[in-house]
Each structure stands twice: as C-alpha cells, then as structure tokens.
A and B are shown apart, each in its own frame.
Chain A
Amino acid sequence: MSGAARHAPVTAGARAASKLGRLFWLVPLLLLPVPLFLDQYQQYVANLVLVYVPVGVGFNVVVGNLGLLAFSNVAFFGIGAYTSGILMLKLGLPWWATVFPAGVMGGIAGSAASVPALRGVRLFYLAIMTLAFGELMRWVYIRWEPLTGGSFGMAVPTPSAFGWSLDAESHKFYAFLVLATAVIALTNRLLRSRFGRAFMAIRGNEEAAAAMGIPTDRYILLGFAWGGFAVGIAGSMYAALVGHLSPPSFDLSELILEFAIVMVGGLGSLLGSVVGAVVLTAAPEFFRDFPGFEELVFGVLIVAVILFLPRGLASLLARAHPALRDRYYRE
C-alpha cells in the first residue's frame, strides 16, 4: 500500500524542534568559556553536573523509554568508575584510554541486568531484583580488595588525556564536556531511529510491539546495554573527577539521586534528564555541612515534584516553548 506520498503539514512544534536541533552543537560551544567565571569549588560542582548528565540520559533509556522499573543503574555507574580506576592504577593506562572500556563494562553489566527482564520479571519484582544486584555490587567492591582497595577505597591517579594532564578542574571540564555532548548526541540519534521507536512501543504495549515484528527481548537487551554504556562512561568521568573511589559512593542514596534526576527531569525526556542532572546534582552541594539536611530536603523536594509536577521539569519546558518539547516526552 505504498500510495502516492503526500506531505501532511508538520506541526509547529516539530518544525521548531528540528530547527532547534541544528543549534544543539552550539550549546557546548557556548559553555566553553564557563571555567573563566568559576572558582575551584564551583568548577568541581560544574564538573559533577557533567558527570550526571550521561547518568541521567542512560538511566532514562531504561526507565523512561523502555519503561522498565530497573534499579541497577548505580551498579553500572560503580562498575564504570572502578573499571577506569583499576585500569589506571593497575595497568597504568592514561584516563582517556579507560573511558571506552568503562562504557563497555557498563554495557556488559547492563546486559546482565536485563536478564530478569528478559525472563519476564516486571514491575516491583524487577525493581527489587535489580536493587539487589546493585547492592550486591557494592559488596563486590568491598570484598575484592586486591583490585578495588576494599572498604578503604582506591586512590585514582591524576587523569590525563592524550598526554595532557587533567590536574586542574577546568581541564576536566573540557574533557567531560566532550563526553557528555557525545553521549547526548548518540543517545538522541538512537532514540530518534527505529530503535527508539521500538523502545517506546515496548513501554506502551509489549504484546502489540511484538505483533509489529519487534523482537522485544532483543530491544530490551539493547536498551539496558546502551543505558549501561552511557552510565559506565559517566562512572569513568566520576573516577577522574573525585580521585578516590569507595563503596559507599554507590549505595542506595546514590540510586535515589539518579532516580530523582530522571523523575524530576521528566520520564522519557532526553532533555529532561539533562535538566534534571543540572538541577539535582548542584542542589545537594549546598547542604554538605549539615548531615541529614540534604536527605530531608531532597526527599521532600522529590515528593513535592511527584505530587505537583508529575511529568517533571520537561513539562514546564514543553509549555514554555513548543521547540523545547522533547521527541518522546508526552503528557
């Protein structure tokens, strides 16, 4: 039924968005002078934001696009971080050479974490199981002392990229900016292709997706692997940023932060995840000096967002301008 192709009018939003898409590459360019205006600590926070951008983007592929309630994200993050740390410390590799392997290890962990979903485990069962997987990994870091340094953690050597030492926070900023931009761009391409459509179809109705000839298992595996890859790269960035890895960095509180980035940003929205990372990563830094206050404020904030802004900040963006409506963000 391949009748005469006729172009129906495209909505204003879609047209504006595609115009805006071309401006995407301008954003990292505009961010280039940022380090000039920040002191050492502010620069650290800015770098942390860049670390959490791929965390949010990767996690969102699994929970927002595939729609699976999987809590294994912190495991991918930790595995990426430790992969980089171990390769640098034990094999003496420069940091830049460990970024891709960290992503690959994250992707492998993602594939492993998809096994229960492939066996038909869903909803809370999947959440509990993947939560257990994440917590189990924390014990691996604690007990695999020769590699990970155990409870005391591991000092990560000064990162370097292509012979340049990234010893100043501003240097890391540029390296991270490149990586975060790349993860966003690649994930965006993936989501806008038949792969992203298949993810969204699975989220909507798995039976109907299969009836369209989509091998749902393969796409669930792919979504997890891609999410793990993106988050693994973020882990590698994290290792380079903090310089010291220890198991408590990858506990349930970390999961709540990562989950909140996706929820507060807006489920299923790539742009939302980025915004969520920017808003939420910076926030806890303000409460550093009051143990507990951070958790309390953060918890209350998330409760408020779920109750009063259930579709996250992405819904505000979409309302502000049609061009800011994300491709797969739907109210």
Chain B
Amino acid sequence: MAPLLELSDVTVRFGGLTAVDQVSFRVEAGEICALIGPNGAGKSTLFNAIAGNAPIQSGRVLFRGDEIQQMTPHAISARGVRRTFQNGGLFGHLTVLENVLVGLHTKVDSGFFGVLAGARKSHRTEAGATRQARGLLALMELEHVADALATELSGGQQRMVEIVRALATDPPLLLLDEPAVGLAPPMRARLGDIIRRLAKERSVGIVLIEHAIELVMSISDRVVVLNYGRKVADAPPAEVRADRNVLEAYLGHG
C-alpha cells in the first residue's frame, strides 16, 4: 500500500532563492513526523508546498499514492490534508462554533437553492453540523467558549480551537505549524498528549513543525531535519539527537 504522504525531490524556488531543495520523506498513517531546523530552513515553505500554498518547481507530492502537487489548496484540503497556521488561522469575525463549522464546510452539503427555499433538509444538515461541532468542542473541553468570538480566546485556547477545526472532518493527515508556540508548559504537555493520542488511537498521520525541542523529542516517531532547504537528517529522535549534521545545523551555522 502507498504511504499516506510521500515527498520525492520536492524543490520550491522563489525567484533566485531555493527555499526547499530536493527534499524527500514519507509519513505513514499513525506516524508523528517532526520537521525541525533553524529559522529560514524551509520548514514552513515545505508545509505550504504540501498544502498547495507554494508553487513546486520540481518533484512530486503523493497523498495516498495520488499526485497532489498541482492541486489547489481547497482541493488538497478536501482530500483530507488539513493544516493549522503558524500565526493563527482562526477567523476573527466568527465565533468559535462557527469556526469549527467552517472546518466542517466540506461535510455540510446543503445546496444553494435548498438554502434559499429554507428547505427542511438544509435546516437538518445545518442543525446536524452544529451538533457535531459542539460535540467536537466538548471533547476538547472548549464547549464553554463556543459562542465567544475567536479573537476573545487566550492564545492557548485559540491553538486548540484551530486543531479542533482542522480535525473536524476526520482528516487522515494533519499538518501542524508550531502548535505549541506561546503555550505554558502544562498546556504544552496536554497538547503533546492530544497529538500523541490522535496518531496512536485514531491513526492520523501528523507532520509537525515545532521549535519546542523537548516536545518534539518526546512525541515524534521520526524527525526530519532541514537546513538551508535541504534535508540533513531523517531518523528517530534518539538518533537525531546524536547526529553530527544536526548539531552543525543548529550550532555550526545557526
């Protein structure tokens, strides 16, 4: 069976700058793969490339064996690749509940004319989605903020809501861009626990960009290290910790 996500020789250039240089790696279902490296190493660009937000000059991105590198971001998302954003991708004009409902967008199939006609089916679909969204928030113990505006939440809560929103459609692959940034240590541990359980209990494949190195080392199955757009290591955490290339990437030039 084809791996969940497979990158082969992916290269992303912006003008003369090669942000990602022939990077290949794989992620299997239920696996947590961390992407680390110094600032400017190309981690976020690589994320954008997978999600369809950055143009890929050469190489291929395969999701469950299908090439997705030419697809639009919404098509990639609809296939089951969901992401969160480094700078918080919540919709500030919407409530927490509505944010999660937007996450369910592809599952709410009420038609345009049905909506205009006020069709019973549209109401049922909408009510069902709302119930589901509230249920999802309840699982993360966020139901009490469901009707608050997204901008009214604390940073930690916003991160959690973004993860709930990304998970709303049960995606097989989740891309998390620095989910622990700005979180207090206890919250960070809880986040690690949640990510771990997503992978192990529900077989979600997870690619994780994270600077909190102890979190990365404690939850990842595999760590891919990027430096100057190139992959310099790809191994289990313990091996990466001992790798000379990695030390160089962080200490030598970093």
Partners in one complex: yes
Interface flag for B147 (CB, 8 Å): yes
> Would A216 and B94 be within 8 Å (CB), given that A1-B168, A8-B134, A8-B143 are in contact?
no
Q: Which residues of A contact B134 (CB under 8 A)?
A: 5-8
Closest to A327 in B: B98
Main SS of chain B's interface residues?
A: helix
B residues 76-104 touching A (CB-CB < 8 Å): 77-78, 82-83, 85, 89-94, 98, 101-103
> Which of A2, A4, A193 has the largest number of chain B CB atoms within 10 A?
A193
Q: Which residues of B contact A268 (CB under 8 A)?
A: 93
B residues 123-141 touching A (CB-CB < 8 Å): 126, 129, 131-132, 134-139
Q: Give, as a whole number of angstroms, the nearest-CB distance from B206 to chain A.
A: 14
Q: Which of A70-78, A101-109, A198-206 contacts B (4 or more CB under 8 A)?
A: A198-206
Pair B91/A201 contact, Cβ less than 8 Å:
yes
Q: Which residues of B contact A210 (CB under 8 A)?
A: 52-53, 72-74, 77
Pair A198/B143 contact, Cβ less than 8 Å:
no
Pair B105/A207 contact, Cβ less than 8 Å:
no
Q: Which residues of B contact A330 (CB under 8 A)?
A: 92-94, 149
Q: Which residues of B contact A215 (CB under 8 A)?
A: 72, 74-75
> Which of A195, A205, A208, A213 has the largest number of chain B CB atoms within 10 A?
A213
Pair B91/A208 contact, Cβ less than 8 Å:
yes
Pair A208/B98 contact, Cβ less than 8 Å:
no
Pair A214/B143 contact, Cβ less than 8 Å:
no
Pair B118/A189 contact, Cβ less than 8 Å:
yes
Q: Which residues of A contact B149 (CB under 8 A)?
A: 330
Pair B132/A189 contact, Cβ less than 8 Å:
no
**For the complex, what is the distance from the CA of A215 to the CA of B129, rounded to whole Å?**
19
Q: Which residues of B contact A201 (CB under 8 A)?
A: 91, 94, 102, 105
Q: Which residues of A contact B143 (CB under 8 A)?
A: 6, 8
The digit string for A187-201, where 1 denotes a CB below 8 A from any CB of B, is: 001101111011011
> Would A214 and B131 be within 8 Å (CB), given that A193-B126, A208-B91 are in contact?
no
Pair A1/B136 contact, Cβ less than 8 Å:
yes
Q: Give, as a whole number of angstroms, the nearest-CB distance from A113 to chain B.
A: 19
Interface flag for A147 (CB, 8 Å): no
Q: Which residues of B contact A14 (CB under 8 A)?
A: 147
Interface flag for B34 (CB, 8 Å): no
Interface flag for A209 (CB, 8 Å): yes
Q: Which residues of A contact B20 (CB under 8 A)?
A: none
A residues 305-331 touching B (CB-CB < 8 Å): 328, 330
Q: Which of B5-13, B37-45, B108-116, B223-231 contacts A (4 or more CB under 8 A)?
A: B108-116
Interface residues of A (CB under 8 A from B): 1-8, 10-11, 14, 186, 189-190, 192-195, 197-198, 200-201, 203-205, 207-216, 222, 268, 328, 330
| Residue contacts A-B, CB under 8 angstroms, 22 given | A1-B136, A1-B167, A2-B132, A5-B131, A6-B134, A10-B147, A190-B115, A193-B110, A195-B112, A197-B102, A204-B90, A205-B85, A207-B89, A208-B90, A212-B74, A212-B105, A213-B78, A213-B105, A215-B75, A216-B74, A330-B94, A330-B149
Interface residues of B (CB under 8 A from A): 51-53, 72-75, 77-78, 82-83, 85, 89-94, 98, 101-103, 105-106, 108, 110, 112, 115-116, 118, 122, 126, 129, 131-132, 134-139, 143-144, 146-147, 149, 165, 167-170, 202
Q: A214-B102, A216-B74 are in contact. List 17 more A-B contacts (CB 8 A).
A: A1-B167, A6-B138, A8-B138, A189-B116, A190-B116, A197-B101, A197-B102, A197-B105, A200-B91, A200-B94, A201-B91, A207-B85, A208-B85, A209-B102, A210-B52, A211-B85, A213-B74
